[in-house]
Amino acid sequence: MELRQVTISTLHKRISSGELRAADVCRGALDRIEQFSGLNAFITVMSDAALAGAERIDRAVDRGEPLPALAGTVIAIKDNMVIRGVRTTAGSRILFNYKPPYTATVVERLENAGAIIIGKTNLDEFAMGSSTENSAYGAVKNPWDTARVPGGSSGGSAVAVATGMAIGALGSDTGGSIRQPASLSGVVGLKPTYGRVSRYGLIAFGSSLDQIGPFANSVEDVARILSVIAGHDPNDSTSSNTEVPDFVSAIAGDVRGLRVGVPREYYGAGLDPEVREKVEAAIKTLETLGAVIVDISLPHTEYAVPVYYLIATAEASSNLARYDGVRYGFRSEEATTLKAMYSRTRDQGFGAEVKRRIMLGTYALSAGYYDQFYGKSQKVRSLIERDFSAAFDKCHVIATPTSPTPAFKLGEKTEDPLEMYLSDIYTITANLAGVPGLNLPCGLSSSGLPIGLQLIGKQFDEGTLLRAAHNLEQALGADFTPPFVGTQ
Amino acid sequence: MAITRTDVEKIAELARLELTPDETELFTEQLRSILGHVEKLNELDTTDVAPMSHCAPAGGDAEYAKRDDQVRPSLGPQLAVENAPDSEGGYFKVPRVIGG
């Protein structure tokens, strides 16, 4: 059973008919995880619980019961979403032994829909990073070239899907942490609209930016997973009660007359020529399918990185204040006073990037600097949001590269935080504006690395985004199986 | 004005991070470089721009953010302290705060 070659719907049919056993699908996924364990995609593999879940589905089939929408769909969960009783680390030493007493709403919804939760994927510590090198549990490797990063912070989820360890996965995206690893690893990844999906049980990073979303090998499967996890949750007051359409039917229909905006600011200095070429070719393909290409401008784009790194770090410094060695996780045993216990626990428990961001955020919020940094960045955020509102008067979706370059080498950017931050340059704007964004693989570089197109949509208009992406995916008709996987 | 080592020490104190001297040195240099990049925001005149603190949909209905104030089941003391590095009788235990 090659999970890369099957969709959720074909798998569902074959399990329902009895042609395929869910337990065998699950065992196949577990074997694949074992086979490619060197990629370090998982922090915790949930073999027993996954097999038990699969066997429940097989028994339902034996009894002739109808199966729920995601029955037998093997799904991996980024290890910053909690599952009751299953160790959840957020990639941090400070949560090395944390067993949450409750389950995230997204996981509960997937389980109720019959999905098999196969394990918890590796990530940059507290989702802070663009390469999945900042994990206390080791770096994740890119299956297209194991000397390269898979992108981040949801690198483990992207790799799990790219290699067929799971059919789908959940990630979280604060500044591109779903779309950028999807681009670098050659899979489809969607950051939904802010508020579309409940964050109850997501370990918080930047609360005005964080959003959970799906990875899969096809746009249709992403739509299927989104349909299950979307919608208001009384446990998350920031989750919207905007009606949830059937995203699977939303992908049907063509793109004739669809206005696709191309923002000139996303095609300037720093964009790899091969990435530009493939992205422009994909946009051309949309045009041949009947879409109308429109030149647009998002004039405040160049301010997005500084705005993001002030707002995200300010929110992080507040959210991460809770890790104090008192209620859960790691505690430094060296200290004899409470204050020293806090400070040593946090210095020893957090990794370098997390500390750097806590420091930057604390500075941006501190007395005397608040207006200059945090206040200023909130105002410029308004300008960026206005750019998008104005652009969406002229077009239905916006097409850009997802990442300025294909996957970079392990260690290449770890010494220079600023350079690492710039790898999110095309993705962070969607978080600042609260709009949905999707990565679709659209070609390979000359050295055989995946290149991704980003489509950005209006708030709560994931349907149009998915329809455009589905049409393009069908027209491109490319197979993005990493050669590394094919030859094993 | 560039950030100094003394600033970094003060922020570390506020953030409850007991940095090593090497970390303090490295962060001073790195924060200086990052804040240099952030200076770019000063190019923009934002006098009449309202700050944006969240991205709830424009013109959307925020009523969903409210719920009835009803008593609901919660974790309870035993489960709440289960993950604690140190606890006793359903309470969190920490080093002495006053005196000693």
Residues within 8 A of B (CB atoms), A 394-413 only? none
Report the pLDDT value the prediction gives residue B57, as an integer from 0 to 100. 58
Nearest Cα of chain A lies from the Cα of B76 at a distance, in angstroms, of: 11
Q: How many CA atoms lie within 13 A of A137 on its CB side?
A: 28
| Model confidence band, residue B67 (pLDDT cutoffs 50, 70, 90) | confident
Q: Looking at the complex, does the CB of residue A462 fall below 8 Å from at least one CB of chain B?
A: no
Sequential DSSP letters for A265-307: GGGSTT--HHHHHHHHHHHHHHHHTT-EEEEE--TTGGGHHHH
Is A252 an 8 Å CB contact of chain B? Answer: no
Q: Which of B54, B64, B97 sits opposite A232 (nearest CB)?
A: B64
Q: Which of B20, B65, B96 sits opposite A237 (nearest CB)?
A: B65
Phi, psi (rounded to 5 degrees) for A224: -65, -45
What's the CA angle centered on A195, arms A190 and A198, to 5 degrees?
Answer: 85
Residue in A316, A273, A259 with CA at minimum distance from that of residue A443: A273
Torsion of CA B45, B47, B49, B51, to 10 degrees: 100
Of B30, B41, B67, the CB nearest to A417: B30
- Which residues are paired to A455 by β-bridges? A399, A438
Provide, rounded to the nearest whole percent, the portion of chain B with pLDDT above 70. Answer: 88
Q: What is the pLDDT of residue B54?
A: 82
- Say yes or no for a CB contact (<8 Å) between B14 and A234: no
Confidence band, pLDDT 50/70/90 cuts, at residue B99: low
Which among A232, A338, A375 has CB closest to B95? Answer: A338
Task: Collect all residues of chain A within an 8 Å Cβ-Cβ radius of residue B49.
Answer: 379-380, 382-383
Sequence-ordered list of residues with C-beta below 8 angstroms from that of A55, at least 6 positions apart, any chain: A22, A23
Does the active-site annotation cover A278?
Answer: no
- Whether the upstream peptide bond of residue A382 has omega within 30° of 0, thus cis, is no
Task: To the nearest 10°, report the CA torsion of A177, A179, A180, A183.
Answer: 150
ipTM, 2 decimals? Answer: 0.94
Whether residue A360 contacts residue A297, with contact meaning beta carbons closer than 8 Å, is answered with no
Please report the pLDDT score of residue B58 as a whole number: 47
Look over chain B and give the mean of its residue pLDDT values, rounded to a whole number. Answer: 89
CA distance A147 to A203: 30
CB-based contact B30 A237, cutoff 8 Å = no
Please answer yes or no on whether B55 and A433 come within 8 Å at the CB atom: yes
Q: Do A240 and B57 make contact, defined as CB atoms within 8 angstroms?
A: yes
Residues in B touching A195 (Cβ below 8 Å): 55-57
Instruction: Give the span between the Cα atoms of B59 and A13, in whole angstroms.
Output: 42
* pLDDT given at position B66: 75
From A22, A154, A31, select the one nearest A488 (Cα to Cα): A31
What residue in A sits closest to B1 (Cα-Cα)? Answer: A369
The Cα of B84 is separated from the nearest Cα of chain A by a number of Å equal to 4
Q: Is A261 helix (H, G, I), strand (E, B) or coil?
A: strand
Higher pLDDT, A257 or B73: A257
b/e sequence A336-366, b meaning 16+ C-beta within 10 Å: eebeebbbbbbbebbbebbbbbbbbbbbbbb
Please judge whether B92 and A389 are an interchain contact, meaning their C-beta atoms are less than 8 angstroms apart.
no
Distance from CA of A184 to the nearest CA of B (A): 25
Q: Quick count: other Cβ atoms within 10 Å of Cβ A439?
A: 34
Task: Locate the chain A residue with the closest alpha carbon to B12.
Answer: A359
pLDDT score, position A376: 96
Q: Do B18 and A343 touch (CB under 8 A)?
A: yes
On whether the CB atoms of residues A118 and A76 are closer than 8 A, the answer is yes
Q: Which 3 state secondary structure label does DSSP give A153? A: coil
Q: A10 and A29 in contact (C-beta within 8 Å)?
A: no
A377 is a catalytic site residue:
no
pLDDT band at B61 (very low <50, low <70, confident <90, very high): low
Residues in A touching B46 (Cβ below 8 Å): 376, 379-380, 383
Question: Which of B5, B8, B18 has the most A C-beta neighbours within 10 Å, making it the best mutation to test the interface with A?
Answer: B18
Query: How many whole angstroms separate alpha carbon A433 and alpha carbon A386?
Result: 8
Residues of chain A where predicted confidence (pLDDT) is lower than 70: 1, 486-488
Per-residue confidence (pLDDT) for residue B2, from 0 to 100: 86
What are the strands, taking DSSP E only, across A29-79? 42-45, 74-78
- Residue A253 C-alpha, separation from nearest chain B C-alpha, in angstroms: 27
CB contact under 8 A, B46 and A362: no
Alpha helices in A350-402 (DSSP H): 352-365, 376-391
Token digits of residue A102:
């409750």
Q: Are B49 and A300 in contact (CB under 8 A)?
A: no
Whether A78 is catalytic? yes
Tell me the residues of chain B between 57 and 96 that have a Cβ less than 8 Å away from chain A. Answer: 57-58, 60-61, 63-67, 75, 79-86, 92, 94-96
